[in-house]
A and B are shown apart, each in its own frame.
Chain A
Amino acid sequence: MQTSLENDRMAKLKKYMADVLEKTDRPESYLIAVLHRAQNLFGYLSRDVMDEIALTMNIPTSHIWGVATFYHYFKLKPQGKHSIAICLGTACYVKGAGDILRTIKKELKIGIGETTEDGFFSLHEARCLGACGLAPVVMIDDKIYGELTNQKIIEIINNYRKRDRKSKEG
């Protein structure tokens, strides 16, 4: 079922595409811009959204899929409430990011690019967040947590969970 919110977003996306088609006869060259807009509106690129783009812009879906999967930036699944980006850049890696990643995976029971069953966390990898001095580092939403240990990261995750429970109860 499409909610009215989704209808509203779709209407906005269609308006955006109509404007693009207005100004170009090579819609393919605007594909990335349109995908960007779609992700901003919906949070990720669903098949329905990509189908709609294909149909409106007359671009084969296989091509859209190729572009959407090529760039890590584009998300193909609904994102969790909080995004955890683990830095696997050189400095972090050397300082044990691999280990931290394993802990997170185990704790959340998801892999990179996936979202927890309760829709609370999504896990991503990043390449150097520019905080090498604090390595190893994760970024949760837009907050940086550094000098991590296995224990510390679990505490941080649990804090998010607690806060969420409180805000639900309160």
Chain B
Amino acid sequence: MEKKTITIYINDKPYRVEPEQTVMQAADKLGFHIPRLCYHPKLSIEGACRVCIVQVEGLKNYAASCSYPVSDGMKIHTNTQEIRRARRDIVELILDNHPLDCHTCDRDGNCELQRLAYSMGIKKRHFEGEKKSYDKDLSSPSVVRDPDKCILCGRCVRICSEIQKVNALRQAYRGFKTVVMPAYNMPFSESVCTTCGQCINVCPTASFIEKNYTQELFEKLSDKSLIKVAQVAPSVRAAIGEAFGIPPGTAKEKETAAALKRLGFDYVFDTQFSADLTIMEEASEFLDRLQGKGRLPMITSCSSAWMKCMEQFYPDLIENISTCKSPMSMMGAVLKTHFPEKIKAAPEKIFSVAVMCCTAKKYEAQRPELKINGLNGVDLVVTTREAAWMIKSAGIDFLNIKGEEFDHPLGLSSGAGAIFGTTGGVMEAAIRTAYELYTGETLLDIEVNELRGLKGIKEGKIVMDGKEIRVAVAHGLGNACDLLDIARKEPGKYHFIEVMGCPGGCVGGGGQPYADANSIPLDEECLKLRAKALYDLDRNRTIRRSHENPDVQRLYKEFLGRPLSELSHKILHTHYKKKEPKGIIPRGLVRAR
């Protein structure tokens, strides 16, 4: 069937377009980029900023193109002197309530407001008015909130409520006094914030940024008395190149290892190694549960933001959560036990750093129950963004660096470990190993396509020795909540559930490089390319199953014994507790009185 089209005129030229779309959508497809600020294609339309105004003939006022629908015969002007001036005034007014500290700002060179101001040709400032002034909220280990930089576009509020469904943030008060804040203006650390950092990803300015530990890390790296050890999450290599202008989709694995060594780390290990370790434990735990030892469905526990979300909103499912620590924390545990033994050093001397795609890992690293003999498994977490900045700041030529291998004995990983970074990957990795542990046979068709891709909730089935195993995967906390609502209602529906707290999984983490000028935050194409980078790594590995990783096998032989051994339980597993931050509601949960 032929699609109905209508004619619109943009800047006096006719175009055939589909009806039932906004002026901005039609213009985008035709190659007219109308400036914008509060609009994001994945979020509801707020129409708050008015930066996207255009002239429509016959209309008295300018139309906000992000929300104004096209109609047949419509004559649109996107670039007249009049509209340019009006837009410039709007951006100027935003700037006038914004600190003038670009050159010391965390988003310098990467700020949408800065880009807008530049593209509007704002050279002079005409209005000088009162500026707002609030304290920064530094209470969270992961996310810093700076209301002074806020331009009230509301993207953070919308991603937090619509995509993540956490509802930590909202606009409070009104007019000039409007501030985006948690309920009761509580410190972030006491709110429902899961520390996922998605507000950072969509913030056009530096109103939300990660808690930055780069200076502290530079300090530690120059401390000769410490043994500095890094671990690198899978998704970091899938995206770090973007921070250096490399298009998304190219994994920079060995380059990252090499750059971290140059930064001054004594050992650079791979979180993909401990992802393999996690799979050994998790697959074994799953098979135990399948045989009646523990509750089903089993739910994965790698995503720190998801863990906090679950403790707050789904405490009734705590027993369903795998007791496995995350790969980061498993690595941390080995780094403060077996590793110092092996290199004959005191565990206190190991300074353990995790380079993560994630802001929530900063929170996870501080969870007291993850301590190992009184020490933190991970002493400090930096995001992909922070690591990229450090590499630049140290004058390391990332683009031309010669790749190096990760170090032994905790640096070798299977392809299963690599795909941990993308939604569906943990499940796929677990299936590869669980199948073999259960049936004694090798699973040949190891790429589980129905678990790949960006659908919010994905389902799959595998048959092990005639037994059907039903699995489900969700990415983004909102999808996770929807999936968990299903699992609550139909407890027998699934055997195994994977949850990642960020859109697209870790590749879309709150610590990943910012979108560049030609892209948008959390662009699906970009997420897919990052995932592809990891799937490519997997495909190019000779070892693609976690249990075949010889270094993991060695670790069991030399140290842990076997999966779920007493020692494994002591250092690789943990427990979760119901959390009720002050003034929150457990989502959809009737509070037990």
Contacts and interface: CB of A to CB of B under 8 A. Distances in A.
- Are A and B interaction partners? yes
B173 A70 contact: yes
Interface stretch (A57-65, A85-93, A98-106): A57-65
B170 A62 contact: yes
Interface in B546-593: 582-588, 591
Given A60-B183, A61-B183, A62-B167, A54 B585 contact: yes
Interface string A43-73: 0000100110011001111111110011000
A66 B583 contact: no
Given A55-B591, A70-B172, A70-B174, A65 B183 contact: yes
Given A47-B184, A55-B591, A58-B588, A63 B170 contact: yes
B182 A62 contact: yes
Contacts of B174: 69-70
Contact of B172 (A50, A51, A54, A69): A69
Contact of B183 (A55, A58, A62, A70): A62
Contact of A60 (B161, B171, B185, B582): B161
Looking at chain A's contact residues, the main secondary structure is: helix
* B174, B582, B585, most chain A CB atoms within 10 A: B585
Contact of B167 (A50, A60, A70): A60
A66 B172 contact: yes
Contact of A47 (B169, B170, B583): B583
A95 to B, nearest CB: 25
Contacts of B588: 58
B38 interface: no
Interface string B152-195: 00000000010000011111111000000111110000011000
Nearest to A53: B585
Contacts of B584: 54, 60-61
A58 B584 CA distance: 10
A61 B585 contact: yes
B196 to A, nearest CB: 15
Contacts of A62: 167-170, 181-183, 191-192
B585 A65 contact: no
Contacts of A54: 583-585
B234 to A, nearest CB: 33
Interface in B16-42: none
A65 B591 contact: no
Contacts of B172: 65-66, 69-70
B288 to A, nearest CB: 36
Nearest to B161: A60
A41 B583 CA distance: 20
Contacts of B169: 62
Interface in A13-35: none
B585 A55 contact: yes
A80 B438 CA distance: 70
B171 A66 contact: yes
B183 A59 contact: no
A65 B185 CA distance: 8
Contacts of A69: 172-174
A64 B584 CA distance: 11
A65 B186 CA distance: 11
A59 B585 contact: yes
A69 B585 CA distance: 19
B583 A50 contact: yes
Contacts of B192: 60-62
A58 B585 contact: yes
A34 to B, nearest CB: 14
A46 to B, nearest CB: 10
A64 B585 CA distance: 11
B161 A61 contact: no
Given A47-B583, A58-B585, A58-B588, A64 B183 contact: yes
14 contacts: A50-B184, A50-B583, A54-B585, A60-B161, A60-B170, A61-B192, A62-B168, A62-B170, A62-B181, A62-B182, A65-B170, A65-B172, A66-B171, A69-B174
Given A50-B184, A59-B585, A61-B183, 7 more contacts: A58-B588, A60-B161, A60-B170, A60-B183, A60-B585, A61-B585, A63-B167
